[in-house]
A and B are shown apart, each in its own frame.
Chain A
Amino acid sequence: MSPADIHQQLVRQFGDKITGANVTALDPWVEVAPAAIVEVGTYLRDDPALLFDALNDLCAVDYFEPDAKKAAKFAHQPHVEVVYHLYSYTLKHHLKVKAKLPRWKNDQAGELPEIPSVSKVWLIGEWHEREAYDLMGITFTNHPNLRRILCPEDWEGHALRKDYDFPLEYHGIRGQ
């Protein structure tokens, strides 16, 4: 099934919950409304024509230019993207699903944006989401165990954010 067909099928099934797509890109992707990610994910996994039984990778990308001078030239609106790389072991095809989130919830700096967790749909999502929470600062609601995974529990900030400042000190250990 070509990415265009998959996109058509998803639009027929979910209507305006599919908020965008680029099926001619280097890696074709489909954009989903964050609130519908579990519903769409379950459908993608179970539909006999799609059968995306594996979440190959989950990562988040922060689109933001901290430097005010360069920000005017920056091609993207500030946002955070969660990217789901899906793969079907049975049908051997790929799809990339994206969900766009605001950088901060309600534009309050420090309030992490929220998206439902897909760890019930694909079990491996649990660890990937913990990593995305740890390094990118995204809250996955209904996650069974949302704790930091790579950084210590008392670490401050989320390192892969573009405006992250490396702490000068951590428990008496000097940084930088």
Chain B
Amino acid sequence: MQKVAVDMSLVVDAPQKVVNQDYRWTLNFGPQHPATHTTLRLVLQIEGETVVGAIPDIGYLHSGFEKIGEHLNYNQYVAVTDRMNYISPLANNVAWHQAVESLIGLELPKRCQYIRVILAELARVSDHLLSCGAMALDTGAFTAFLYAFNQREVLYGIFETLCGARFTTSYSRVGGLMYDATPEFIRQVKQFVKDFPKVYVEITRLLNRNRIFVERTKGIGILTKEQAISRSVTGPIARASGVTRDLRKDQPYLSYPDFDFKVICSNGGDCFHRYLVRMLEIEESMKIVEQAINNLPEGPVNVDPEERAILPSKDKVYNTIEGLITHFEVVMTNRGLQAPKAEHYDAIEAPNGELGFYIVGDGSDKAYRARCRPPSYIHFALFPEMMKGHTISDVVAVLGSLNIIAAELDR
């Protein structure tokens, strides 16, 4: 360990008294470190093995997504949202287009809503599998990670069947979806619903009473309800601290009121309870997926082409003059999709928390301002507070339980 001279007076997060006291050390954690999983950096101040201060340093993956949003139209930008939280890109696609559609005032057909619900929930399952698996990996339980990744592979297969891409799905469109769900996709989802519970039970058996895992996560990184509220924390992290907030219930969107599911909450507030909340949420998500796939309504998947939002079917384009005209109007600038001169914020319950987009429309087919409210950004701000008084080895447990995705953090 090397002592680094850092001018601590520049850094307000750090305790001011410790300047120039030589028994405290500064440890640089990241940006390249196996346990950060993504590119983020922490400057830790340690005394012995205890962390007395932590300064997050972010921005390594900043790529100006909000600026790009002002130059791409509402359909093109969906490709950028894939790259925000790349663990659950489908949830980002759904979030972006939901904000656009509610700005324009489009009402989606029931089938599209159901498919989007299924995808958002499968994305949640895949995200929670990764975050629980990676947290277990960092705290010494390797096997669970492999089990989780194996199931994520199955999910990628399903996404590939649906839209041809595994990671960067870009599946939603304004007023609909890229393609309708095929019978093969429906079969695969039904198969997944059938097979997954077996593996799920195995993962919980590997971790829930695993002495090493429990000892390393219980009582670590406690977040109280008051802290969670003053830091406007959302998602599983807030729910593990006793905040009963779930947008799926509080401000129902898509077809969530049609489904029977519970909001998982806990009063624990530590890493272990965040893990538990995530695992139980997987169970609830699978319930939703099962109900949705079994009751998938028939009918169109896109809104009426008369809305000038979505391209008409090729059949109509080639065989009717109206279809041809509509097609050209939709692809022409200033004739197709036009958002009103209004501003709107809409959010969904993404796997990590509330993922919202604030869009300022200026009457064209591009956003004047496309602000993203990334849950990781808000959760990472908690980190110094949660870390105080714990040891260096707890850093990875807390990071894992917060599930920080740097691409979303930095945008």
Binding site for B on A (CB under 8 A): 25-27, 53-57, 59, 61-62, 75, 83, 85, 87, 89, 92, 96, 122-124, 126-127, 131, 135, 144-145, 148-152, 159-160
Contacts and interface: CB of A to CB of B under 8 A. Distances in A.
Contact of A124 (B64, B230, B344): B230
B59 A126 contact: no
Interface string B43-84: 000000000000000110010101100000000000000000
A15 to B, nearest CB: 26
Contacts, number: 82
Nearest to B378: A124
B347 to A, nearest CB: 8
A159 to B, nearest CB: 6
Interface string B75-119: 000000000000000000000000000010000000000000000
A152 B59 contact: yes
Nearest to B354: A56
B377 A127 contact: yes
Given A59-B369, A92-B250, A159-B64, 14 more contacts: A54-B232, A56-B232, A57-B345, A59-B358, A59-B373, A61-B343, A61-B368, A75-B362, A124-B231, A124-B378, A127-B377, A149-B59, A150-B62, A152-B59
Per CB-CB distance, the 4 closest pairs between chain A and chain B, nearest first, are A54-B232, A145-B12, A150-B59, A150-B62
B344 A27 contact: yes
B345 A61 contact: no
Contacts of A159: 64, 67
A92 B232 CA distance: 13
Nearest to B341: A75
Given A59-B358, A126-B381, A159-B64, A27 B345 contact: yes
Interface in B206-243: 229-232, 243
21 contacts: A27-B343, A56-B373, A57-B371, A57-B373, A59-B371, A61-B371, A87-B232, A89-B243, A89-B245, A96-B345, A124-B378, A124-B381, A149-B58, A150-B58, A150-B62, A150-B410, A151-B59, A151-B62, A152-B59, A160-B66, A160-B369
Main secondary structure of the interface of A (DSSP, over half): loop
Among B11, B230, B245, B410, residue most surrounded by chain A Cβ atoms (within 10 Å): B230
Given A57-B358, A89-B243, A122 B342 contact: no
A89 B66 contact: no
B360 interface: yes
A123 B342 contact: no
A54 B344 contact: no
Contact of A135 (B66, B103, B231, B243): B66
Contacts of A89: 229, 243, 245
B340 to A, nearest CB: 8
Contact of A145 (B13, B62, B410): B13
A144 B14 CA distance: 12
Contacts of A152: 59
A123 B230 contact: yes
